[in-house]
Structure 1
Amino acid sequence: MSASMLSGSNSARKASLFVKRGMQLLVQGNVEASLTMFENALLSDPRQKPYLWQRGLSLYYANRFAEGAVQFREDVAVNPNDTEESIWCFICEARVQGVENARKQFLEVGQDRRPVMQKAYKLFKDGGLYHEAEGNAEDAKSAILAACRTPYGLRSGDYMASLAKVHCKCRGWEL
């Protein structure tokens, strides 16, 4: 194995560790520290940039919506069936440009194999589940708190379920 291949492998491994730590920090509600870890991942291995959807989530919670949208667009460019990133891109762009403008440039994705994600995509694209994007804080709060209180939200340990709790913490909503 060549020295450059070993170096690339080392860089990818180091970047992966930074990403894992960034994810842990975001779940703990430490948005800024998570962004530092994701930036360290990029410094270690810049080739990871289009795959760092986790960074996009941290950018969103840091209110860096335009940067978040760019991150999610880059992710969908390399993973054209990525429903969640298309939705997150829409939410970021809605916060910057308004819902109608964001909807006009909604990222088209391929067929997601998960029926629930197909439905979520349609609801965001055509109207529906977007209280946060609309800036409707009361309805967003009600929906997010309800999600946190479901059995799945309470016990799953799933990264996206944890994100609902991060959302509450970032918005100052008591669970």
Structure 2
Amino acid sequence: MAASSRGDRPQASRATSLGMQKFVKGDVAGSLAEFDRALQLDSSMRPYLWQRGLSLYYLKEFEEGAKQFRDDVAVNPNDTEESIWCYLCEAQLYGPEEARKRFLKVGVDSRPVLRAAQEVFQTGRGVEKLEEMARADPNGHQGFYANLYIALFHESEKDADEAQRAMIRAVKTVYGTKSGDYMAKLAAVHCQIRGWTL
């Protein structure tokens, strides 16, 4: 089926929802198939399908993942998480040093923990600040996100042991277990994919 710029938005939205449901159940390949179906139904959704970029990362389709996040930032220029995930894809392709040179410029995020995370990924320094934020809010939103991005930073630096410890801490926060946040589900899927026992 050829993609149309403004196709069947209701069906595309349903495909997106189904893709999200599949992802949180650990069916990452199935989630990508649904996100791609959403694009076939309505290609104008492309810059809003950040969930597709996450699935691409876990399927090791890093070039397409980076492109997805770059397209997302074009319409959402203040989203720090899009720039971090683009970096995570490009660090796999080019290494951390080159990925930092290509780091997407975004506006100021309203969330302090995301501003701190952006600094860590952009510079390769300051993970201690994220660790302090995690300790200050061990079970809440800030603690979850601090640990999530500590883990992802260590993964991008090829330190699997530190990545595992931080990701498990993120999953075990009250926020991680009870919030229903897509990123909280992602942390659990991350552990599942990496074979890390909670």
Query: Is 1:174 the equivalent of 2:197?
Result: yes
Tell me which residue corresponds to 1:126. Answer: 123
Q: Which has the higher contact order (CA 8 A, sep 6+)?
A: 1
- Give 3-state SS (helix, strand or coil) of 1:138's partner: helix
Ranges of 4+ aligned residues in structure 1 off by more than 3 Å = none
After TM superposition, list the pairs within 5 Å mapping 1:1-175 onto structure 2.
8=6, 11-127=8-124, 128=127, 129=150, 130-175=153-198
**Residue deviations 1:116-168 (CA, integer Å, cap 9, x gap):** 22122112112234111112111111110111111111111111011000101
Tell me which residue corresponds to 2:140. Answer: none
Tell me, in whole angstroms, the C-alpha distance in 2 between the residues paired with 1:22 and 1:54.
8
Tell me, in whole angstroms, the C-alpha distance in 2 between the residues paired with 1:22 and 1:58.
9
List gaps (5 residues or longer) in structure 2: 1-5, 128-149
Does the CA contact (< 8 Å) of 1:95 and 1:134 recur in 2? no
Size of the aligned set, in residue pairs, is 168
**Residue deviations 1:78-111 (CA, integer Å, cap 9, x gap):** 1110110100000110011100000111111011
Q: TM-score, normalised by structure 2?
A: 0.81
Cα RMSD after superposing both structures:
1.4
Tell me which residue corresponds to 1:4. Answer: none
Does the CA contact (< 8 Å) of 1:95 and 1:135 recur in 2? no
1:115 positional shift? 2.1
Q: TM-score, normalised by structure 1?
A: 0.92
Tell me, in whole angstroms, the C-alpha distance in 1 between the residues paired with 2:110 and 2:192.
32
List gaps (5 residues or longer) in structure 1: 1-7
